[in-house]
């Protein structure tokens, strides 16, 4: 055994790659594999999966992110390149877990992520020539074919070499190939800095590039970059790498049959829908206030945070067991210059543990939606799981592309996508937000509109006059909302509204906040009980009518989904809905009135306001937003009727 073995990792894996080149070698007519791959014959068998060139309807999560309105799957391609090196005959340092990683990642990409192409290079087949062919010829040319709409994931599992630049030697960190003979030599080494350069070139050809690095000393691949991207902004292009550890420590496999800790954690976190706390069940469909279906995504930064959280838990157990091992934190960095604005994402089904017993998963209804892929991958099986070829019912539902809140001709089917898919964002503010730094808010915020509370149950909001004046001088569209008072007549509430909120042609439609007083306010609850539900609903509708007559704009009813469900019946369908739903429980609102505004969070960090800002999205397009501001009708309902 090489006595300088400490420079190699004693356990598991390493990552990856991403090659570059200006173009693929000219492909002759006979250079097409039986599966359709456009490569010379000697490379055909490396494709463990090659899907059709015209695969039909694209998963809505991918078409939304890549901005492909017609959802034509032929306009994009998800490609995986996996390098798994478990055998090192000349170094006598085999890594059985790397073989497991290679197979599991292939199964995961094919059956779990529905990738179109998966290339797997194992052991001696992962030669320098073969790697360079795919990195420098095939992948760059393939990306160019899809007009920067393709997605690329590269994963490497094998040994890594420690780099030294201490004045006495200048040895680059490297990924170790199967034919390596000397850890200090150049044969069988793929230097990490060279990979960074190649990844930067690939980033110019793909929408997303994600490199997963689980080699010892793997973060040695990071180079210098400029700019600051957001690897969680999945609807924007970007290229990132996640390394299992830093550039000075080893990485581990604790259970060879599950592969490396790194890849095992990633596969489990994505497959089980728990790696992205916020977007793990971000696509939600509510049918007639009853059945719910979910699909989710896992973003790059969220996955990185999840991996480190899992590492912390594992380290605690290792300490308790006295193993003498410690996982160093995973690293993340951009692999393009300048850094792109976004990052890669995985599709997933949400964790069953996050859903109540009555909630039905989209996974359980494979034929229910025509454009959400259902995973047939199991984390407990290393062999590929056959894909579900069941034909979908011709009555299946297709989720529309882009920003929507319902399905055409089916307003009872409400749609909630990730907030990022909705281009028009806003906030609502009140005295609860304290002092606002308006200069900073205007400078940093991309919001289009702001609603300010006019009056609450305790009377006029103490900050409203100041907020309204500041908004008048700002770039934001402004509107006001009133909290409905069960102790006052609609006419009295209108007089208060008129005295505080002037009628202006450019203002947004007035909002009416509905809150069930039970458990909130004893005085309001007593008034509500005295009136009764029927009279309360009549008074709410009367107030809405008076507001419309005074401000000449259709009001919008605001409240969390529980409160709106409590008060609204079919008579409210002429009015718009501003729904508060933070994704933690099922939406209870029934009926046929889709949301116009969706308050998706009450704890967003907004520069100038604070860390607990209520934030909204508008349901539709710019044209529909103009209609909303005009306030002539229920614009969301009109969009699907």
Residue 336 pLDDT more than 70? yes
**Full domain range(s) for residue 473:** 420-640
Residue 16 is predicted with a pLDDT of 28
Residue 393, domain member (yes or no): no
pLDDT mean over 160-166? 76
Tokens of 541: 């509708």
Q: What CATH number does residue 443 fall under?
A: 3.20.20.80
Residue 290 is predicted with a pLDDT of 72
Tokens of 361: 């998963």
Number of separate domains in the chain? 2
| E strand residue ranges, 220-330 | 238-243, 283-287, 291-299
Residue with tokens 């994931």: 153
Residue 369, domain member (yes or no): no
pLDDT digits (tens, 9 = 90+) for 236-247: 999 999 999 887
Q: Are residues 337 and 435 in the same domain?
A: no
Does residue 485 contact residue 515 with C-beta atoms inside 8 Å?
no
Q: Are residues 338 and 439 in the same domain?
A: no
Highest mean pLDDT among 151-155, 211-215, 386-390: 151-155
Beta strand 170-171 pairing with 164-165: antiparallel
Q: Are residues 521 and 612 in the same domain?
A: yes
Long-range contacts of 492-496 (CB under 8 A, 24+ apart): 493/543, 494/543, 494/546, 494/547, 494/550, 496/455, 496/460
Residue 497, domain member (yes or no): yes
Backbone φ and ψ for 604, nearest 5 degrees, come out as -75, 145
List the one residue out of 562, 627, 552 whose CA is nearest residue 596.
627
Q: Are residues 338 and 475 in the same domain?
A: no
CA distance 343 to 279: 14
pLDDT mean over 484-496? 98
Residue 85 is predicted with a pLDDT of 96
CA distance 604 to 612: 5
Environment class of 369 (CB within 10 Å of its CB; exposed 0-12, middle 13-18, buried 19+): buried
Q: Are residues 12 and 114 in the same domain?
A: yes
pLDDT digits (tens, 9 = 90+) for 56-72: 889 999 999 999 999 99
Residue 366 pLDDT more than 80? no
pLDDT mean over 155-175? 80
CA distance 636 to 277: 29
CA distance 63 to 73: 8
Cα distances from 101 to residues 108, 403, 409, in angstroms, run 10, 38, 47
Average pLDDT of the chain to the nearest whole number:
87
Using pLDDT thresholds of 50, 70 and 90, give the confidence band for residue 368. Answer: low
Residue 532, domain member (yes or no): yes
Residue 275, domain member (yes or no): no
Question: Between residues 172 and 527, which one has the greater pLDDT?
Answer: 527
pLDDT mean over 572-584? 90
Residue 30 is predicted with a pLDDT of 62
Q: Are residues 339 and 454 in the same domain?
A: no
CA distance 509 to 495: 17
Q: Are residues 340 and 426 in the same domain?
A: no
Residue 480, domain member (yes or no): yes
pLDDT digits (tens, 9 = 90+) for 603-641: 999 999 999 999 999 999 999 999 999 999 999 999 999
Q: Which sign does the torsion angle of CA 67, 72, 75, 79 carry?
A: positive
Which residues, 6 or more positions from 47, have their beta carbon under 8 angstroms from its beta carbon?
33, 35, 37, 39, 117, 118, 119
Residue 1 pLDDT more than 70? no
Residue 352 pLDDT more than 70? no
CA distance 213 to 332: 10
Residue 20 pLDDT more than 60? no
Residue 572 is predicted with a pLDDT of 97
Residue 73, domain member (yes or no): yes
Residue 495 is predicted with a pLDDT of 98
Residue 586 is predicted with a pLDDT of 66
Residue 184 is predicted with a pLDDT of 84
Residue 619, domain member (yes or no): yes
């Amino acid at each position: 055994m090489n006595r300088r073995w400490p420079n190699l990792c004693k356990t598991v894996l390493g990552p990856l790659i991403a090659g570059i080149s200006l173009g693929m070698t000219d492909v002759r007519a006979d250079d097409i594999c039986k599966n359709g791959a456009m490569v010379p014959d000697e490379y055909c068998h490396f494709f463990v999966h090659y899907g059709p060139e015209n695969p039909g309807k694209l998963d809505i999560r991918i078409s939304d992110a890549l901005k492909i309105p017609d959802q034509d799957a032929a306009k994009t391609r998800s490609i995986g390149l996996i390098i798994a090196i478990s055998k090192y005959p000349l170094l006598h340092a085999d890594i059985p877990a790397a073989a497991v990683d290679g197979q599991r990642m292939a199964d995961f990409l094919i059956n779990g992520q529905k990738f179109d192409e998966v290339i797997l290079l194992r052991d001696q087949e992962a030669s320098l020539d073969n790697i360079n062919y795919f990195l420098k010829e095939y992948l760059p040319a393939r990306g160019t074919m899809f007009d920067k709409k393709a997605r690329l994931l590269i994963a490497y599992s094998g040994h890594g070499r420690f780099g030294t630049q201490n004045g006495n030697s200048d040895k680059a960190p490297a990924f170790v190939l199967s034919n390596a003979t000397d850890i200090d030599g150049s044969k069988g080494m793929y230097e990490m800095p060279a990979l960074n350069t190649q990844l930067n070139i690939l980033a110019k050809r793909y929408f997303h590039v994600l490199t997963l690095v689980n080699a010892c000393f793997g973060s040695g691949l990071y180079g210098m970059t400029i700019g600051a991207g957001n690897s969680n902004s999945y609807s924007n292009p970007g290229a990132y790498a996640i390394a299992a550890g830093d550039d000075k420590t080893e990485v581990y496999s604790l259970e060879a049959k599950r592969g490396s800790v790194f890849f095992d954690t990633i596969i489990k976190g994505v497959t089980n829908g728990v790696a992205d706390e916020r977007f793990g069940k971000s696509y939600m469909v509510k049918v007639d206030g009853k059945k719910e279906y979910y699909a989710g995504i896992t973003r790059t930064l969220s996955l990185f945070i999840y991996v480190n959280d899992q590492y912390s838990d594992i380290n605690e157990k290792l300490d308790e067991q006295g193993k003498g091992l410690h996982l160093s934190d995973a690293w993340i960095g951009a692999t393009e210059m300048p850094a792109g604005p976004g990052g890669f994402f995985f599709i997933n089904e949400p964790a069953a543990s996050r859903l109540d017993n009555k909630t039905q998963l989209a996974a359980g209804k494979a034929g229910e939606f025509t454009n959400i892929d259902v995973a047939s991958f199991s984390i407990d099986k290393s062999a590929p799981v056959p894909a579900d070829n069941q034909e979908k019912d011709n009555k299946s539902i297709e989720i529309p592309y882009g920003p929507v809140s319902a399905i055409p001709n089916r307003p009872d089917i409400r749609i909630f996508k990730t907030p990022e898919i909705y281009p028009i964002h806003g906030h609502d503010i009140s005295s609860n937000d304290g002092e606002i730094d308006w200069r900073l808010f205007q400078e940093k915020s991309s919001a289009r509109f702001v609603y300010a509370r006019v009056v609450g149950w305790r009377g006029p909001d103490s900050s409203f006059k100041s907020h309204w004046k500041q908004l008048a001088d700002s770039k934001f569209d402004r509107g006001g909302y009133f909290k409905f008072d069960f102790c006052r007549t609609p006419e009295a509430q209108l007089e208060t509204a008129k005295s505080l909120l002037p009628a202006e042609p450019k203002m947004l439609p007035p909002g009416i906040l509905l809150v069930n007083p039970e458990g909130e306010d004893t005085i309001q609850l007593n008034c509500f009980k005295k009136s009764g539900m029927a009279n309360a609903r009549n008074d709410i509708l009367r107030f809405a009518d008076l507001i419309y007559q005074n401000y000449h704009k259709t009001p919008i009813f605001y409240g969390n989904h529980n409160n709106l469900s409590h008060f609204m019946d079919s008579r409210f369908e002429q009015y718009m809905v501003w729904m508060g739903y933070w994704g933690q429980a099922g939406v209870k609102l029934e009926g046929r009135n889709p949301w116009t505004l969706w308050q998706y969070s009450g704890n967003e960090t907004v520069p100038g306001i604070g860390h607990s800002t209520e934030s909204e999205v508008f349901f539709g397009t710019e044209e529909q937003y103009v209609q909303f501001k005009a306030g002539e009708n229920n614009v969301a309902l009109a969009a699907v009727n």
